[in-house]
Structure 1
Amino acid sequence: MGTIGIQLGAKGATLVTAILFARALGPEEFGRYGFVMSIITLAALPTVAGLPQLLVREISQYTLYGQNALLSGLLKWSNRYVLLISMFSIIIIYTLAVLNLWDEAVKALILSAFLLIPLKGGLSRQGAVINGFHRPELAQLPTLVLAPIFALLVSSWLYFYTSEDLTSQKLVYIQIFAHISAAFLGIMIVNLVTRQSVAITTPIYRIKKWHKALLPFTIITVVGTMNSELTTVMLGFFGFEESIGYFRVAVTGMTVLALSLTAVNSVSGPKIASLYKQKNLDETQNVLTQSVRLSVMTSVPLAGFLILFGEYFISFLFGKEYIPAASILSILCVGQIVNVSMGSVGLVLNMTGNEKFALRAQLFNLVLMIGLLVTLVPFYQGIGAAIAVSSGMVFWNLLMAYDVYRLTGLKTWIRF
């Protein structure tokens, strides 16, 4: 409940920030800004892909058995890994920009936003380390609380108390400032939770083992992130920047529905890893049952509200110019209801050593998504994108829930 409370505040700040950005920029420029942020997210994938899941699982097990030397080695190795891979990602994104892959407006934004790549990687690593020490409430602070609050405060000051107009370029600079500020707090929290375990410990490295374990997690995250960001990129590829603005407004509403599931996963991930390692299946099932019940009770009523009154909700918050996003939101809500009702399917597969089956489901979903996006987006734009996203969400949830039950005997879906 503490984690949910933190995330409620964080999502509230994110929602207010999105409203401010959308109103200040208008659908087309807001869509361009969203397009660039999706490109940066994809560029940051090699930096963050799979590492948080690996860190949570390994740290939970090392602390369980008091393996402090391995824990110290893992922490040092993961920090170097993020820095090194970030440099490669920056070089690639800079090269693509210089080759004029995008138009000048998008290119200028991308070149000013590349610093977000190592910042996203560092914040993701910090959160995973803190969560691995069973401190999910602290793990949320840098990325989900401080970064959006800093962005909201700075953008609000510029919007309400200065004569300057907010532009997509300024929003990029605001995001960089917010991420840097959050990263400093994350460093302090990581030092606080790890100092007793690694203070005077000589690190032991098992880099080959970690890289081998990281590979399936990495592929899963890459495919999963592509599933979520591909829609924006596809709309931008076909030149529907205004539709990107509508779609991102709708996604902002949908993410509120996933809040409880995200919070529950933050708490239950380390518990599932530890309990399953101890072969305590009854207690693992109890964690899953309670988690999905909490997620459904908090999310489904809100989904019903957004489906029935989404047009009024969007018009009131974002302005009448974004009313076309209401239909997109309703379609996304249907998929999100299924997502929440099926429980923590991907998390359970990852935490129980069955990453390859989560990967299989994500790959199938990616193929399905690409086919639906290519077919529907050119004709139906944002509506087609929403249908593709919801269809994929239903498909991979059902497939992974079946795999969890078949492989572990655990039931992740809602049961009363």
Structure 2
Amino acid sequence: MASSLGSLAIKLSSAGLVLALTIVLARSLGPSGYGLYAYVYALVWLLVVPAELGLPMLVVRETAAARAHQAWGRIRGVWQWATRLALTLSLTITILSGLALAVFAPHFSDEQLTTFAAGVVMATLMVLGNLTGAALRGLRHVLQGQFPDLVIRYALALAFCTVAALLLGDAFTASHAMALHALAAGIALVAGRVMLARVRPVELGSAPPIREPREWLQSTIPLALVAGTFLMHQQTDIVVLGLFVDEAQIGIYRVAVQTAGFLAFGLHAVNMVAAPQFARLHSLGDHDRLQRVVTTSARVTLALTALAVIGLVSVGRPVIDLAFGVEYDAAYSPILILAIGQIFNAGSGSVVFLLNMTGHERLVVRVLGLAVVLNIGLNVGLIPLFGLNGAAAATAITLALWNLRLWWAVRQQLGIESTAIGRPLAGRQVAADDAGGMPTSRR
């Protein structure tokens, strides 16, 4: 219970910091400058996908399961293997991005190129930070596993950008904002490493590392596809929107996305706490306790999301005008459309994390892969007709459909009711390879 409340507090703090950072950047950069920042930030997240290759989720799952069986060598082995692979991939992405900048430099302004270069650096720092947080969460230090990336990074980015905006005035640009955010990510990474060094079990120091690279690679590829398709779904609307509208419109839509994203803070907070529990209870074959954890998390998520939606609908428009300025007033309609998608997201429960933590990541990949294709198609079809509202509708429709499909998959594969109803499913059997054994991704 304490971890749940602490995770909720961290997520609330993070959501508040993100919103404050959005306000500072939207006001100081203006719709056009903020649009450039938002577009590059979306590209940064797409770079993170191949650089981390689903490794954070693998580290959480393997660490939590190995800790339950006191397999300290396995924990040490997966940490070492994941870190080395992430560094290799990050270096490769950085080199390829540098080559791309050199080739396409004549087609972009200096400001655009500088902003993207800073974003590439930030992507690498975020990958390493995500791995550190995953190790902490797998050890059941859930709060410390979230604090560096969700609080320290955004708090420092907010402080740095606020000071820079005040000192530079109109000279403050998107490239400055991205570089300062990268600096904040670097400091957050160092803080996370310090936290991990303090809480790592003493047994890890003497346990010889046990590495199973072939098994882990087979597992991490579908996990990477899960993370990749999920992030692509989150960023597709902004990337496709950039093909049809100017940077100012992207800035307005980004405000809508950030504001609507606040509605999902409950789901993210609960997932951070529940994901290691899903892996542990599934590993131990404790179906009844797993159902109780899933039901409790679903009820908390739905209640928090419903309250947030009610507040947003009630006072959304005046808050947008007050916080961001009247030039962002057009963001209100997309916010309402995105809110509908978030209701479906919360109502379905923690379906993605539940399936990933129990070894069904390949199924998730198939569903989210189809969702990405659908999302791209809907965006291409709806944006020319309805503009920002079309992008929001494409995202909301896709979010609702893939949550519905994964809800059904959880029922079929695990015998678990993932929604707040929590009704036991008679006659179902837990889909595990070995009852009480360590989970595996091979299905």
* TM norm. shorter chain > 0.5: yes
Paired letter, 1:254: A
For residue 24 of structure 2, what is the aligned residue in structure 1?
A: 20
For residue 273 of structure 2, what is the aligned residue in structure 1?
A: 267
- The correspondence for 2:94, drawn from 44, 67, 90, is 90
**TM-score normalised by the chain length of structure 2:** 0.91
Farther-moved stretch of structure 1 (374-383 vs 259-268): 374-383
8 Å Cα contact 2:118/2:182 also seen in 1: no
- The correspondence for 1:100, drawn from 104, 110, 114, is 104
For residue 398 of structure 1, what is the aligned residue in structure 2?
A: 404
- The aligned runs of 1:28-107 (5 Å cut-off) are 28-100=32-104, 103-104=108-109, 105-107=111-113
Aligned mates of 2:322, 2:292 — CA distance in 1: 41
Partner SS state of residue 99, structure 1:
helix
Report whether the alignment pairs 1:176 with 2:162. Answer: no
Aligned mates of 1:361, 1:136 — CA distance in 2: 28
8 Å Cα contact 1:100/1:107 also seen in 2: no
Aligned mates of 1:248, 1:311 — CA distance in 2: 16
The one-character-per-residue Cα deviations of 1:255-276 (angstroms, maximum 9, x if unpaired) are 2111111010010111111111
- Cα deviation for residue 287 of structure 1 reads 0.5
For residue 210 of structure 2, what is the aligned residue in structure 1?
A: 204
8 Å Cα contact 2:52/2:89 also seen in 1: no
- The aligned runs of 1:5-404 (5 Å cut-off) are 5-100=9-104, 103-104=108-109, 105-160=111-166, 165-404=171-410
Gaps (5+ residues) in structure 2?
Answer: 423-443
Paired letter, 1:76: Q
Paired letter, 1:328: P
**TM-score normalised by the chain length of structure 1:** 0.97
Aligned mates of 1:49, 1:21 — CA distance in 2: 30
- Cα deviation for residue 359 of structure 1 reads 1.0
Paired letter, 1:93: S
- Cα deviation for residue 163 of structure 1 reads 5.4
- Cα deviation for residue 195 of structure 1 reads 4.5
- Cα deviation for residue 309 of structure 1 reads 2.9
Aligned mates of 1:99, 1:380 — CA distance in 2: 35
- Cα deviation for residue 332 of structure 1 reads 0.2
RMSD across aligned positions (CA): 1.5
- Cα deviation for residue 410 of structure 1 reads 0.2
- Cα deviation for residue 6 of structure 1 reads 1.4
- Cα deviation for residue 336 of structure 1 reads 0.3
The one-character-per-residue Cα deviations of 1:311-359 (angstroms, maximum 9, x if unpaired) are 1121111111100000010000010011011100111111111111111
8 Å Cα contact 1:260/1:298 also seen in 2: yes
- Cα deviation for residue 217 of structure 1 reads 0.3
Aligned mates of 1:369, 1:164 — CA distance in 2: 37
Farther-moved stretch of structure 1 (169-178 vs 375-384): 375-384
Identity %: 28
Aligned mates of 1:235, 1:150 — CA distance in 2: 29
The one-character-per-residue Cα deviations of 1:229-287 (angstroms, maximum 9, x if unpaired) are 11111111224322211111111111211111101001011111111111111111100
Runs of 4+ with deviation above 6 angstroms: none
8 Å Cα contact 2:115/2:176 also seen in 1: no
With over 3 angstroms needed to count, the CA separation of the structure-2 counterparts of 1:112 and 1:351, relative to structure 1, is: closer
The one-character-per-residue Cα deviations of 1:164-202 (angstroms, maximum 9, x if unpaired) are 742111101111110111011011011122241311222
Aligned mates of 1:115, 1:94 — CA distance in 2: 11
Gaps (5+ residues) in structure 1?
Answer: none
With over 3 angstroms needed to count, the CA separation of the structure-2 counterparts of 1:5 and 1:28, relative to structure 1, is: same
Partner SS state of residue 206, structure 2:
coil
- Cα deviation for residue 305 of structure 1 reads 2.4
